[in-house]
């Protein structure tokens, strides 16, 4: 699948692109069937909310379930990424951010590159975040908030740690206020099967989910093979260590 020239212009201007109906209800149904069993696993790849109850992230999904391994190489995600970057990519992360109803926590304001660079030693802000909505995402169940065009601004990040003591680089409140005072904000909503592409320098975050509805979003991060991290031996759940190029599968690979 190739993006149109108009979509490329939108992505360059805004730093993100929303692709409604990228996956069919049948394909999303197949993917959703695997989620409860993955979520029930007690392992380092499942991180939990601060209260230790709900699963927050399910990481390393391509290693844990062949179906998600295929989704990571799905041509409707991978071909646009290869088109945008113009070079081979490896899979940096493959996860679901599972914001449970009545308790899924928010994500502090950040740009992915601040953490990829300062924590992992990734040289350049080229990685792409590829999302697929496994739930309907509305203004009520904790959608992502994007600051459109912020990828073209200098945004100052600071080191912090999350509830699991993971090192993260987040954006101080005054800096967020300064940037979104210029860019404004959008919330990224859509039905199951919506795809989203966004770049490493986009300012984003998301609120807590106080609705009754879960908000499962699949997310893979792909990064050019030439841009692999300078730091060696990072934990896989933080940054996958297989730097071999991803090759797109056939379009019907989720049905196979
Ligand atoms: O899932 C979310 O709400 C935020 C995810 C995010 O910020 C990220 O994957 O970088």
Instruction: For CA atoms 100, 157, 151, 84, give the dihedral sign.
Output: negative
Closest CA to 158 of 166, 148, 168: 168
Report the DSSP beta bridge partners of residue 107. 206
* Topology of the domain comprising 5-227: Jelly Rolls (2.60.120)
Domain range list for the chain: 5-227
Taking the C-alpha atoms of residue 136 and residue 143, their distance in angstroms, rounded to an integer, is 10
pLDDT over 70, % of the chain: 98
Predicted confidence (pLDDT) per residue in 238-249, tens digit: 999 999 999 999
CA angle 170, 193, 243 (to 5 degrees): 55
To test the ligand 1 pocket, which listed residue (219, 221, 222, 239) has its Cβ within 8 A of the most ligand atoms? 219
Predicted confidence (pLDDT) per residue in 73-128, tens digit: 999 999 999 999 999 999 999 999 999 999 899 999 999 999 999 999 999 999 99
Query: Which atom of ligand 1 sits closest to the CA of residue 143?
Result: 3
Query: Which atom of ligand 1 sits closest to the CA of residue 95?
Result: 9
Predicted confidence (pLDDT) per residue in 143-194, tens digit: 999 999 999 999 998 888 766 667 888 999 999 999 999 999 999 999 999 9
Pocket of ligand 1 from Cβ distances under 6 Å: 97, 107, 112, 129, 144, 204, 206, 217, 219
Ligand 1, atom 1, lies closest to the CA of 97
Query: pTM of the full predicted structure?
Result: 0.95
3-state helix, strand, coil in the chain (%, to 5): 30, 25, 45
């Amino acid at each position: 699948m190739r993006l149109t020239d108009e979509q490329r212009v939108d992505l360059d201007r805004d730093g993100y692109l929303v692709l409604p109906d990228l996956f069919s209800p049948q394909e999303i149904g197949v993917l959703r069937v695997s989620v409860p069993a993955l979520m029930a696993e007690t392992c380092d790849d499942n991180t939990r909310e601060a209260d230790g109850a709900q699963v927050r992230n399910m990481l390393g999904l391509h290693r844990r379930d062949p179906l998600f391994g295929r989704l990571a190489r799905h041509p409707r995600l991978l071909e646009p990424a290869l088109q945008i970057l113009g070079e081979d990519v490896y899979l940096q992360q493959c996860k679901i951010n599972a914001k449970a109803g009545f308790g899924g926590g928010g994500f502090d304001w950040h740009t992915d590159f601040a953490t990829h660079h300062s924590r992992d030693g990734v040289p350049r802000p080229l990685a792409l975040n590829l999302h697929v909505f496994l739930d309907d995402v509305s203004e009520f169940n904790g959608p992502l908030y994007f600051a459109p065009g912020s990828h073209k601004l200098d945004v100052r990040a600071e080191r912090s740690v999350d509830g699991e003591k993971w090192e993260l680089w987040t954006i101080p409140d005054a800096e967020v206020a300064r940037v979104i005072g210029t860019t404004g904000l959008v919330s990224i909503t859509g039905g199951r099967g919506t795809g989203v592409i966004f770049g490493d320098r986009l300012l984003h975050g998301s609120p807590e989910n106080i609705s009754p509805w879960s908000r499962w979003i699949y997310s893979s991060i792909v990064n050019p093979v030439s841009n692999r991290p300078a730091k060696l031996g990072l934990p896989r759940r933080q940054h996958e260590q297989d730097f071999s190029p991803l090759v797109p599968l056939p379009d019907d690979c989720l049905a196979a």
